[in-house]
């Protein structure tokens, strides 16, 4: 029965693309809204106020080294990424932009958005370009600025900016993932 339902859903997706996006709960419309950043959680997560309502926003397409995850140690260059985000965004008027390809919220209920500064700069891109963040594609989901973000990371890495600097992270700037094995955290580097 499950196979039959999945096959039917797949056929509907191929025949009626709008059904497919609704079926997978994607955000099919572009939303741009004004907000004020009132708190910076870390380099890639902020709290904003939109029309007197508070929201947590996770920046799309980037990942900064961890500083607040209780399951993880503070990662190399995490403090610097958080400080940079705080310096640029705290108490600033911004524009939040959704992505018509990605979901509206993540599994933690955070809004998934691009942050644009008052001068029009895409802050997500800027974080990568100056070396405070990695390009991050969640579960192979495409997003609007992916190619630009990947190019920005390549440039930052080649120019040894921020976390890619020889003096940062012992010269090894690769995302760190951890895995719980026999109740001990093991750390792995992705090369």
Q: Distance (Å, rounded) from C-alpha 163 to C-alpha 128?
A: 10
The answer to whether 144 is a known catalytic residue is: no
Separation of alpha carbons 85 and 78, rounded Å: 11
Cβ atoms 24, 104 nearer than 8 A: no
Q: How far apart are CA 168 and CA 106, in angstroms?
A: 30
Catalytic, out of 80, 97, 110, 158: 110
Q: What angle do CA 90, 67, 168 make, to 5 degrees?
A: 100
How many helices, marked H, and strands, marked E, lie in the chain?
A: 5, 9
Assigned token pair, 141: 């989901």
Place of tokens 């992270």: 169
Out of 32, 53, 66, 189, pick the active-site residue. 66
CA-based nearest residue to 127, from 114, 118, 139: 114
Task: Tell me, yes or no, if 135 is annotated catalytic.
Answer: no
97 part of the active site: no
Helix (H, G, I), strand (E, B) or coil at 159: coil
Active site residues: 58, 66, 110
């Amino acid at each position: 029965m499950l196979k039959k339902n999945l096959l039917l859903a797949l056929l509907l997706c191929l025949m009626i693309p709008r059904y497919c996006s609704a079926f997978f709960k994607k955000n099919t419309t572009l939303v741009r809204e004004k907000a004020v950043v009132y708190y910076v959680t870390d380099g890639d997560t902020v709290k904003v106020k939109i029309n007197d309502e508070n929201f947590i926003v996770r920046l799309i397409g980037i990942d900064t080294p961890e500083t607040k995850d209780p399951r993880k140690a503070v990662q190399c260059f995490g403090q610097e990424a958080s400080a940079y985000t705080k310096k640029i965004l705290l108490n600033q008027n911004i524009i939040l932009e959704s992505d018509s390809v990605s979901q509206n919220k993540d599994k933690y209920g955070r809004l998934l958005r691009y942050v644009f500064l008052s001068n029009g700069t895409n802050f997500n891109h800027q974080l990568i370009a100056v070396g405070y963040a990695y390009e991050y594609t969640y579960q192979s989901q495409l997003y609007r600025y992916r190619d630009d973000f990947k190019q920005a990371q390549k440039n930052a890495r080649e120019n040894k900016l921020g976390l890619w600097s020889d003096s940062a992270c012992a010269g090894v700037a690769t995302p760190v993932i951890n895995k719980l094995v026999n109740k001990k955290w093991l750390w792995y580097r992705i090369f």
